[in-house]
Amino acid sequence: MKIVADNTVPYLKGILEPIADVVYLPAEEFTPDALHDADALIVRSIDKCTRNLLSGSKIKLITTATIGFDHIDTQFCAEAGITWKNAPGCNAVSVSQYILGALADLSLKTNKPLAGKTIGIVGVGHVGKKVEKVCSAIGMNVLRNDPPREEIEGKSNFVSLNTIAEKSDIITFHTPLIKEGKFATRHLADTIFFKKLKRQPWYINASRGAVHDTEALLKAYQNGQISEMVIDCWENEPDISRELLKSASIATPHIAGFSADGKANGTRICLENIATFFHLSIDKIVDVIPPVPLEPIIDMNMFASNRIEQALLKPFNPLVPDKALRAEPEKFEWFRANFHHHREFHAYTIANATLREAALLQQLGFIIKSLNQ
Say if residue 231's pLDDT is above 70.
Answer: yes
Say if residue 305's pLDDT is above 60.
Answer: yes
Residue 291: how many other CB atoms lie within 10 Å: 11
Across residues 250-270, what is the average pLDDT? 97
Using CA atoms, how far apart are residues 244 and 351, in angstroms rounded to an integer?
39
Say if 2-89+259-287 and 92-251 have the same CATH topology. Answer: yes
Work out the pLDDT band at 10, boundaries 50, 70, 90.
very high
Residue numbers annotated as active site: 208, 237, 254
**CA proximity to 271, closest of 16, 10, 9, 4:** 16
15 within 8 A of 292, measured Cβ to Cβ: no
Predicted local distance difference test score (pLDDT) of residue 64: 98
Distance of CA 365 to the CA centre of its chain: 18
Residue 290: how many other CB atoms lie within 10 Å: 20
Greatest pairwise CA separation for the chain in angstroms: 65
- At how many degrees (to 10) do helices 92-110 and 126-137 cross? 40
Residue 356: how many other CB atoms lie within 10 Å: 9
Residue 305: how many other CB atoms lie within 10 Å: 7
Per CATH, the homologous superfamily of domain 297-368 is Erythronate-4-phosphate dehydrogenase, dimerisation domain (3.30.1370.170)
The string of pLDDT tens digits covering residues 310-364 is 999 999 999 999 999 999 999 999 999 889 999 999 999 999 999 999 999 999 9
Work out the pLDDT band at 371, boundaries 50, 70, 90.
low
Say if residue 67's pLDDT is above 90.
Answer: no
Using CA atoms, how far apart are residues 177 and 185, in angstroms rounded to an integer?
6
The string of pLDDT tens digits covering residues 153-212 is 999 999 999 999 999 999 999 999 999 999 999 999 999 999 999 999 999 999 999 999
Per CATH, the homologous superfamily of domain 92-251 is NAD(P)-binding Rossmann-like Domain (3.40.50.720)
Where are the chain's structural domains? 2-89+259-287, 92-251, 297-368
The architecture that CATH gives domain 2-89+259-287 is: 3-Layer(aba) Sandwich (3.40)
**CA proximity to 99, closest of 260, 230, 278:** 230
Instruction: Specify whether the backbone of 187 is left (phi greater than 0), alpha (psi in -120 to 50) or beta.
Output: left
The string of pLDDT tens digits covering residues 97-143 is 999 999 999 999 999 999 999 999 999 999 999 999 999 999 999 99
Work out the pLDDT band at 373, boundaries 50, 70, 90.
very low
Q: How many residues does the chain have?
A: 373
